[in-house]
Amino acid sequence: MSNSRFPRRGVAAAVLAAGFVLAAPLAASAHVGVSPDAIEPGGSAVLTFSFSHGCEESPTTALRITMPDGLASVSPTVDSLWDIAVERADNGLVSAVTYTATSPIPGGLRGAASMAVTLGEDAPDALAFPVEQQCETGMNEWVEIAEDGADPHDLDSPAPVVTVAAAGSDTADAGHGEHSDMPQSTPAEESASPVGTILGGAGLVAGLAGLVVAVLAYRRSA
């Protein structure tokens, strides 16, 4: 009996290890992205903020997006999936927009809300849009901003950032892909760093290999 007990424990450990390996890349990719992530000085664009996760297992009910300084105008896009509430500062400019889902959005499904913005003459080189993701249970605050020279992928709760730079400049090229996330391709993991993806894939292979070895050992002892 003692010989068969250890393989069973090995099987359980291997299953848990494989589960953690699968969960790690998903957790690393979770954030709210923005597309496009670069606008020319004095230009305008329709920004789309998107996500494919809730607050752990709880569906998303609303996004409250705070506007940065440097925007001359903000016009939220009317969408049947969202009820829209606009907040304005004393100067009359939009200071925040809250998109409330007409039906809660479960994790694994892509949600997206958009707005047209026009840059002012005083727009800085980077515009951060802090986002409060509200869920049926809990809340995520995507508000962290990377310091100069730091990798935004290292942040736990990065705010979506739009770079202000002329088309073709080094600054504009460097900004693409950092926070664009889901709208340009798949709804979830475009922003994950290549290193994290490679390590996650290698870990998954190792976890599955351990599972196979444990199952074979269990069959021999049975």
* Interatomic CA distance for residues 170 and 106, integer angstroms: 38
Which residue has better confidence, 11 or 217? 217
Candidate ranges 65-79, 147-161, 205-219; pick with highest mean pLDDT? 65-79
Mean pLDDT of 101-119: 97
pLDDT tens digits for range 56-77: 999 999 999 999 999 999 999 9
Q: How far apart are CA 47 and CA 49, in angstroms?
A: 7
Q: Model confidence over 6-51: pLDDT tens digits?
A: 444 444 444 334 443 333 344 445 789 999 999 999 999 999 999 9
DSSP per-residue codes, 162-213: EEE--TTSHHHHHHTTTS--STTSSSS-TTS-HHHHHHHHHHHHHHHHHHHH
- Look at strands 161-164 and 38-39 and give their pairing: parallel
Measured CA to CA, the distance from residue 163 to residue 46 in angstroms comes to 14
**In the predicted model, what is the mean pLDDT of residues 155-170?**
87
pLDDT at 193 over 50: no
What's the pLDDT score for residue 52? 95
Q: Which two tokens stand for residue 150?
A: 């730091």
**Which of 99-113, 162-176, 207-221 is the least confident region?**
207-221
pLDDT at residue 192 is higher than 50 = no
Q: What is the pLDDT of residue 22?
A: 38
Give the pLDDT of residue 221. Answer: 56
Q: What confidence score (pLDDT) does residue 217 get?
A: 53
* CA–CA distance, 61 with 9 (Å, rounded to integer): 41
Please give the mean pLDDT across all residues of the chain: 77
Distance (Å) of CA 8 to CA 99, 144, 211, 213, 214: 49, 44, 11, 12, 8
**Phi (first) and psi of residue 49, to 5 degrees:** -100, 125
Please check whether residue 112 is in contact with residue 118, taking contact to mean a CB–CB distance below 8 angstroms: no
CA distance 70 to 81: 28
pLDDT, tens only, 129-146 = 999 999 999 999 999 998
Q: Which two tokens stand for residue 66?
A: 């705070």
